[in-house]
Amino acid sequence: MAAEIALVTTRRYESPTDITPYIANILEEDRLLTEALAQRGLRARRVDWSREGVDWGAFAAIVLRTPWDYFDRFEAFSAWLDARADHPRLINDLGTLRWNIDKHYLADLEAAGLPIVPTVFVERGETRTLAEAMDALGTEAAVFKPTVSGGAKDTYRVRAGAASQHEERFAALTSQMAMMVQPFMESVLERGEVTVVAMGGQPTHGLVKRAKAGDFRVQDDHGGTLHEHDPEDDELAITTAAMAARGPAPVYGRVDLVRDEQGAARIMEVELIEPELWLRMHPPAAQAFADGIAAALD
């Protein structure tokens, strides 16, 4: 019998019956990867990370794909990760997942010489105000969000001169969790946010995400749109360097980039946990993904 690979998801996507366009994309992505794995003699199926009674040790590999409720149930998900510590084929590996799950990793990337969007971290319980964080950045317009989050949850744009309007919300959030503050990058509105996907540390394809009119969030669940993009040389170089920042290249990952006022590319995020990879926009990436999983089994 072929070795079986768990494609970790959440309850909503494990065996969906109401196939919305959003879910259809998830199923198409998993189909491409599943077929690529089958070509290598491997079986794959989606498994809800929180489902009880799963024998995770029976899987040849556990690949985090779409557990897109982890930040809403972080304590439970963190405990689930800890329980997988002894599994020899957790993909990406536990150290990488632990490092990447909290956006404090941006400080490590900056220390390694990579160009990030300037960031001020305000830790849980810290009394630093939003205005103080913005002053430290030297910016009049900013975005703040949790260091552990996804899908633009609890993400807010602060327009110039309007910090006072957000202080109560900012204080309420920092009383519960660590937050991060970054200058608002105007190029998001003008040029969009570039994503470069990488397999085994090597870029495979790119795309650009653009917000709908009147919004700044580029995620499709907020009305953003997706477009093909041929990554520029600096975007490719930054992606390759980011994938190598912690040593051996992760099996899969992506880098989100924006341009600053001088036109230089800067890292918004490096996604190594459960990133959307848009395999459907570049099917050869599914083959490279399957190669990485197969290689991890050797």
The answer to whether residue 78 scores a pLDDT higher than 90 is: yes
Check residue 298 and report its DSSP letter: -
**216-247: b or e for each residue (b if 16 or more CB lie within 10 Å)?**
bbbbbeeebebeebebeeebbebbbbbbebbe
Rounded Cα gap, residues 49 and 76, in angstroms: 10
Average pLDDT over residues 207-219: 66
Q: What is the pLDDT of residue 289?
A: 98
Q: What is the pLDDT of residue 221?
A: 55
Q: What is the pLDDT of residue 213?
A: 59
**Which residues is 196 bridged to in the sheet?**
206, 255
Average pLDDT over residues 232-237: 97
**Could you tell me which residues come within 8 angstroms of residue 211 by beta carbon, excluding any fewer than 6 positions away?**
188, 189, 192, 217, 218, 222, 223, 224
Cα dihedral 30, 252, 200, 59, rounded to 10, equals: -60
Q: Over pLDDT 90: what percentage of the chain?
A: 83
Band the pLDDT of 12: cuts 50, 70, 90: very high
Query: Which two tokens mark 287?
Result: 């083959």
Q: What is the pLDDT of residue 2?
A: 73
Average pLDDT over residues 3-32: 95
The answer to whether residue 1 scores a pLDDT higher than 80 is: no
Do the Cβ atoms of 193 and 209 come closer than 8 Å?
A: yes
Residue of 269, 193, 263, 254 whose CA lies nearest to 234: 263
Band the pLDDT of 176: cuts 50, 70, 90: very high
Q: What is the pLDDT of residue 263?
A: 93
Query: Which two tokens mark 258?
Result: 């924006």
> How do residues 19-39 score in pLDDT, each as one tens digit?
999 999 999 999 999 999 999
The answer to whether residue 216 scores a pLDDT higher than 60 is: no
Backbone φ/ψ region at 92: left (φ over 0), alpha (ψ -120 to 50), beta: beta
Q: What is the pLDDT of residue 280?
A: 96
The answer to whether residue 127 scores a pLDDT higher than 70 is: yes
Q: What is the pLDDT of residue 215?
A: 53
> How do residues 139-171 score in pLDDT, each as one tens digit?
999 999 999 987 777 899 998 888 999 999 999
> Which domains occur in the chain, in start order?
3-95 (3.40.50), 105-114+187-272 (3.30.470.20), 120-183 (3.30.1490)
Output the average pLDDT for the chain: 92
Q: What is the pLDDT of residue 186?
A: 86
Q: What is the pLDDT of residue 116?
A: 98
Average pLDDT over residues 58-75: 94
With 0-12 / 13-18 / 19 or more C-beta atoms within 10 angstroms meaning exposed / middle / buried, residue 22 is exposed
Average pLDDT over residues 107-126: 97
Q: What is the pLDDT of residue 212?
A: 57
Band the pLDDT of 199: cuts 50, 70, 90: very high
Query: Which two tokens mark 91?
Result: 């993909």
Q: What is the pLDDT of residue 224?
A: 63
Q: Can you spell out the DSSP letters for 170-239?
A: HHHHHTTS-EEEEE--THHHHT-EEEEEEETTEEEEEEEEEPPTT----SGGGT-EEEEE---HHHHHHH
Average pLDDT over residues 94-109: 96
Q: What is the pLDDT of residue 264?
A: 95
Rounded Cα gap, residues 11 and 72, in angstroms: 13
Q: What is the pLDDT of residue 160?
A: 82
